[in-house]
A = this chain, B = another copy of it.
Amino acid sequence: MIEKKILLADCPDDKGLISKITNICYKHQLNILHNNEFVDFETKHFFMRTELEGIFNETTLLEDLRLALPEGANLRLLGQEKKRIVILVTKEAHCLGDILMKNYYGALDVEIAAVIGNHDTLRSLVEKFDIPFFCISHQNLTRVEHDKLLADKIDEFSPDYIVLAKYMRVLNPEFVERYPNRVINIHHSFLPAFIGAKPYQQAYERGVKIIGATAHFINNELDQGPIIMQNVINVDHTFTAEAMMKAGRDVEKTVLSRALDLALHDRIFVFQNKTIIL
């Protein structure tokens, strides 16, 4: 059966890597639809993303590739199955709403398995779209306890990615390590400016002329994870902190849903706290 799959390969750089990989694909009679490579000359690391079409003998293909590539190569062959996400929210609707709406009209090719809020505020919005909503309040719980409840609920759905759509709590290290490079957050500033709480208030006080938003994978340092996408809008002296916050919503939601789209299409490599997007 003719299928499409995406091959993701990264390894220490070496001569002839593209030749070796494309040769093997050719011998397997796989047609290359799209191909992108990148060599980071500083870290001497090679990245390649190839969209293939043909009849796949997955085991031999991966074996052939592994033999051809240097020690330590990472290889993934990804099918076209729809990916699954769980979304975490607090009270703000704009990022969640954009994902729900885009998914509704087919612009995000994803299965939203569940939405979990630490408040119940967004239940009715989620339920409009016939998606299960779970409220797991953090009240009277330690952070570790609360995050454990979240993780247990998340794991029921085995999501590919967890999306923090304005989830306004810091997640503990254990949670973060449980889902490496699988938790996508939207930060409402142009990182690394205005790390932490109330970035619009910080931006207002500093008198900046541009504000932004940053989608990134979370790691164990606050707002320090690998950046996937950023975007900005112009502001001026007429913007109060609140006006910035309102104006920032459109850029936040767009940045988050585009970053998610990149993840869903297997276009992101994470390497040494940076993203390579092919």
Show the binding face of A for B, using Cβ within 8 Å.
15-16, 18-19, 22-23, 25-26, 29, 31-42, 92-94, 97-98, 100-102, 104-105, 107, 125, 128-129, 190-194, 206-210, 212, 226-232, 236-238, 240, 246, 249-250, 254, 273-277
Contacts and interface: CB of A to CB of B under 8 A. Distances in A.
Given A97-B104, A104-B97, A194-B192, A273 B15 contact: no
Contact of A33 (B32, B33, B39, B104): B39
Q: How many copies does the complex hold?
A: 4
A244 to B, nearest CB: 13
A33 B208 CA distance: 23
Contacts of A36: 36
A97 B101 contact: yes
Contact of A23 (B23, B93, B107): B23
A221 to B, nearest CB: 12
A120 to B, nearest CB: 15
A214 B63 CA distance: 49
A120 B174 CA distance: 49
A237 B19 CA distance: 23
